[in-house]
Structure 1
Amino acid sequence: MPEDASMLKEFVLEIPEQIGLPVAARRKPQAQSGEWPEGTRIVSADSHILESDLWIDRFPEHLKDQAPRMLFKDGGWDLSINGKSMTMEKQAADLCNTLECYPGFTDVDARIADLDIEGVEKELIFPQRLFGLIIFGEIANKEHVFGAYNEHIAEVCAKAPGRLYSVMVPSYWAPEKAEESVARCVELGARCLMVPIKPGNYESDGATIHYNDPRMDPLWAAIEASGLPVAFHIGESLPNDAPGKAGISGLMQFQGFRLNWGQLVFGGVFDRFPGLKAIFVEAGLSWIPGMLHDADLVYNSFAATVTPKLAHAPSWYWRNHCYATFMTDPAGLEMLHRIGPETALWSSDYPHQESTFGYTRSAIDAVFKATTVENAQMILGKTALKLFQMED
């Protein structure tokens, strides 16, 4: 929060309650002050739960010394592999003080109590520190690292049936094993599958993974057959030590997913797998209209050189295959006619710093103010209920 109170008047943020908020660990859920239109259901399409020390007991005996460890020490949660910490001591303490030691991040009962106050019926649960493993380079023992996480998050969500739904990671590093991997995720109760923005290398030969490479088709085929959507989520970049690092890192991560979307569209993935659905998580909505215009411009202007030839204009694939989540995005909501209200998914991002936690009801009210009741109810929950098969 800026030290100069006069600066608060300069922000372009349009929800008064989100300006000058305390850190997430010191916020209180926002109580009800009015009624939403009849038939409204609120679903967060992106929320997070902090991992525990989940790997050591699930790793094979001969690999236990290589298992990631998640231990609380020196005032914060430390994630390490082979004794090498993935979190600087000060950073771990800062994360604890700002959000990771908030009860609802690890305690399901405390979490549900917050959701009830803020009016959130259901949440789709993404990882927290798992992104850290991706940031720090190639992950050894991916089958066990992600397999253990998938089992763990299934157990956590089972503590609140009908309220918490899991996102799991299939074998993106070994697409030839995708059918079995995706089947296991489905067996565990996944409602969405996640792959990294920057997937690294293939397990078998160390070649760089490109999502538009037909070599990845077994993965897309398995995901399409499962009926689950595939998600890309921000959070794989680490700020450097130069001035402004935190602001720059956040700004760059919110800029959108042009690379990943372009790979799926221009690589012909959606043409080959017409039932595939993709979700682009936590970058908001406002990046989409410009990207769609640019994609059509490129395809039209370079018609002789852009291959493969597509069955539709590039922008067509957005409204027929894609979705994006946002917390607050007044600019994006003004451009719903270009994005498609049926492709927008509201989320609270509970309980992150940039989350709506503490002003969730005001953030929901802002969606109703920005569009029709029908559109708002789709965005706030009805689309998510269907997409993530949450009507169980």
Structure 2
Amino acid sequence: MSKIWTNSGDSHFLEPDDLWQQRLPKRLADLTPRAEKEPDGEWETVHVDGQSFRRKLPSSAAVQFVEESHKPKGVRDARARLADLDKEGVWGEVIFPSLGMWASTFRTPELLKACMRASNEWALEEITAVSDRYVVTAQVSTLDVNDAVEELTWAAEQGFKAVFLPTTPHPSADDWHRSSWEPFWTVAEEAGIVLAFHIGTDPVDMASGGAGQVYRGPGGAVMNYTETTFSGQRAAMKMVASGALDRHPNLRVLISEGGATWVPFLGDRMIEGYRQHHMAVRPKLSRDPKEILFSQIYASFQHDETAVAAYDHMGYKNVMFGSDYPHMEGTFGHTQDTLKGLFDGISDETRLRITQGTFYELFPHVPPVPADAQ
């Protein structure tokens, strides 16, 4: 079989470690995350925004594995990245940040606002300017709604088409189902900006070892990896049940890396809750929750065989492939093998929708895959 070209609803870029220190005034730069390894090599002390905590480092075997997954030069070089994508058969891609994972540990609104602007300006200069195949997600402070609205307005003016949102906002802010976020949804809808939630981004106690460290002991590794998927489902649930998407029918939400088969189940569950508990339901929706979910929520996956079935047999059409470049959970190095396995015996209509059509529905500004490449 010839190469199957795809777009990707999920990928990542590693910014320079000192990006914030280099771009912020010293009084703020000194508050950005800084780690000091202890002599034993097993622990480190992290300083961020006037706080310090000690955390255990991953084992040497785990570090080596992670480093292997980050070997592609394109993880830090947007020009070299194009060669990686061409080799894998990936054309356009949504790109999420890495430094932004620290956002939930900040407590000073001015500092977080400045860091988000610095990251956005850098991304425009170093990634967006390189290729129109890249859909770089803007970053906003979720510590303060007004700051988030201001940054999203600026980002729209700069041409950003998506904004990265953690599956739960900053610990000091209202959750996504609260009315305080209404101005943010309005700006996103009017600007045509996709809300891109990435799984595994709930605020965590960084001292516990980082995102996903929920379980320890037997089965911990598998349970922690599985646990990360649920946060995306909760974000989608909040956006539907709160009426945010019903009030903003042109707003589109992407849940990246969390699979797709959960969407039909969640729709069924929400319909049942809405029907069986109608006396207590607030707000009342103008459309049933499953219809809202199916029409406004898009979901990306990488290896899940059931995601194709969600499209073919469960009526859910907003299924999108994502390579998760270059993470160890992703398909880098075997994207073509993965795609050929997923779409063996599957119709061209289904394959083209999942690999390209769904992506272009959200990001029509990305150039089409060249005809001579297909």
TM over 0.5: yes
Give the counterpart of 2:213 among 221, 232, 239.
239
Does the aligned pair in 1 maintain the 2:96–2:136 contact within 8 Å?
yes
Whole-Å separation in 2 of the counterparts to 1:341 and 1:86: 45
Shift in alpha-carbon separation, 1:212–1:376, aligned structure 2, 3 A? same
Whole-Å separation in 2 of the counterparts to 1:150 and 1:300: 43
Residue type of the alignment partner of 1:239: Q
> Within the alignment, does 1:54 sit opposite 2:28 as a pair?
no
Whole-Å separation in 2 of the counterparts to 1:96 and 1:54: 22
Residue type of the alignment partner of 1:118: E
**Which string of whole-angstrom CA distances, capped at 9 and with x for unpartnered residues, describes residues 96-138 of structure 1?**
533345433213343222211111112211123422443x475
- The CA RMSD over aligned residues, in Å, is 3.0
**Which string of whole-angstrom CA distances, capped at 9 and with x for unpartnered residues, describes residues 159-214 of structure 1?**
5312322011234333234443112212333221121112124xxxx5x4121111
Residue type of the alignment partner of 1:197: T
Residue type of the alignment partner of 1:228: I
Q: Which moved more, 1:272-281 or 1:97-106?
A: 97-106
Whole-Å separation in 2 of the counterparts to 1:168 and 1:343: 22
Does the aligned pair in 2 maintain the 1:131–1:235 contact within 8 Å?
no
The aligned residue for residue 365 of structure 1 is 340
Q: Alpha-carbon deviation of 1:321?
A: 0.9
Which runs of at least 4 in structure 1 moved beyond 6 Å after TM superposition? 70-75
Question: 1:116 is paired with a residue of what secondary structure?
Answer: helix
Whole-Å separation in 2 of the counterparts to 1:377 and 1:249: 33
The aligned residue for residue 246 of structure 2 is 271
Does the aligned pair in 1 maintain the 2:264–2:316 contact within 8 Å?
no
Whole-Å separation in 2 of the counterparts to 1:70 and 1:108: 26
Residue type of the alignment partner of 1:299: Y
Q: Alpha-carbon deviation of 1:79?
A: 7.7
Using the size of structure 2 for normalisation, the TM-score is: 0.83
Unaligned runs of 5+ in 2: 202-210, 368-374
Give the counterpart of 1:314 among 274, 283, 289.
289
Query: 1:271-310 to 2 correspondence within 5 Å?
Result: 271-310=246-285
The aligned residue for residue 150 of structure 1 is 120
Q: Alpha-carbon deviation of 1:54?
A: 0.8
> Within the alignment, does 1:249 sit opposite 2:213 as a pair?
no
Whole-Å separation in 2 of the counterparts to 1:120 and 1:131: 25
Between the two proteins, the alignment pairs up a number of residues equal to: 349
Does the aligned pair in 2 maintain the 1:341–1:379 contact within 8 Å?
no
Unaligned runs of 5+ in 1: 1-32
**Which string of whole-angstrom CA distances, capped at 9 and with x for unpartnered residues, describes residues 341-374 of structure 1?**
5311111001100101121012222343364212
> Within the alignment, does 1:34 sit opposite 2:8 as a pair?
no
Whole-Å separation in 2 of the counterparts to 1:189 and 1:111: 21
Shift in alpha-carbon separation, 1:115–1:130, aligned structure 2, 3 A? same
Give the counterpart of 1:333 among 304, 308, 325.
308
Question: 1:260 is paired with a residue of what secondary structure?
Answer: helix
> Within the alignment, does 1:122 sit opposite 2:92 as a pair?
yes
